[in-house]
Chain A
Amino acid sequence: EVQLVESGGGLVQPGGSLRLSCAASGFTLSHWMSWVRQAPGKGLDWVANIKEDGSAKFYVDSVKGRFTISRDNAKNSLYLQMNSLRAEDTAVYYCARDQLGYPGESFDSWGQGTLVTVSS
């Protein structure tokens, strides 16, 4: 069974940093992987994705230069390093598996999400 489990969320002050992790099981990380966030009461926002071997990464404009997506295939893990956090980054962050053959277009497995709250 495919399973994605996020961790690392919490309360952080504006300007602070946080590192999210996503542990994958039930499949090998031979997929593109993404982070998708959802602000409280709002819709889905794609944040970033990374190619199977880490050789390509894409980001939404609002996080470029502040967030870094990475992966460790030996540990079956995905990460999101978030720096210079702003109030508008407050959201539930989901780890999602890009569907084979459809990177960035379709996400066939999702974690339960981890809440990041940016507030003083």
Chain B
Amino acid sequence: QSVLTQPPSVSAAPGQKVTISCSGSSSNIGNNHVSWYQQLPGTAPKLLIYDNNKRPSGIPDRFSGSKSGTSATLGITGLQTGDEADYYCGTWDSSLRAGVFGGGTKLTVL
């Protein structure tokens, strides 16, 4: 079982918006910075969001992140078929003294 909890799957139509949740605790999300990753089939993960809501250069503003308490959310607007991928949240857990990830959410663009 993953330390961070994500829904296994979400879906939406092209052009629509989707949100992916990530739930944790005070030892991880509550007191550390959250990051989000996109993993296209057969490829390595790619950083989408860091420090809860910041985008690395080259990541379009269709991707956004937020954090409230012990939960975080990834938002994707203007969905494209190329956005179909697995999405993971991650952070540090201060009690475990280890990095932790969510179990991943598979996005389907219908």
Q: Is A40 an interface residue (CB 8 A)?
A: no
How many chain B residues sit at the interface, stated as a range, is 20 to 34
How many chain A residues sit at the interface, stated as a range, is 20 to 34
Within the complex, what minimum Cβ distance (angstroms) separates B100 from chain A? Answer: 6
Q: Is B66 an interface residue (CB 8 A)?
A: no
Q: Is B96 an interface residue (CB 8 A)?
A: yes
0/1 interface trace, chain B 74-110, chain A, CB 8 Å (1 if under): 0000000000001010111000111111111000000
Most B CB within 10 A of own CB, among A34, A44, A45, A49: A44
Complex CA gap A76/B62 in Å reads 35
Within the complex, what minimum Cβ distance (angstroms) separates B13 from chain A? Answer: 26
B44 close to A106 (CB less than 8 A): no
A58 close to B35 (CB less than 8 A): no
Within the complex, what minimum Cβ distance (angstroms) separates A69 from chain B? Answer: 12
Apart from A58-B99, A105-B34, A112-B44, what are 15 other A-B pairs with CB-CB below 8 Å? A36-B101, A43-B86, A43-B102, A43-B104, A44-B45, A44-B88, A44-B104, A46-B98, A59-B98, A60-B99, A104-B92, A105-B32, A105-B90, A108-B50, A110-B46
**Which residues in A have some Cβ–Cβ distance to B below 8 Å?**
34, 36, 43-46, 49, 58-61, 94, 99, 102-108, 110-113
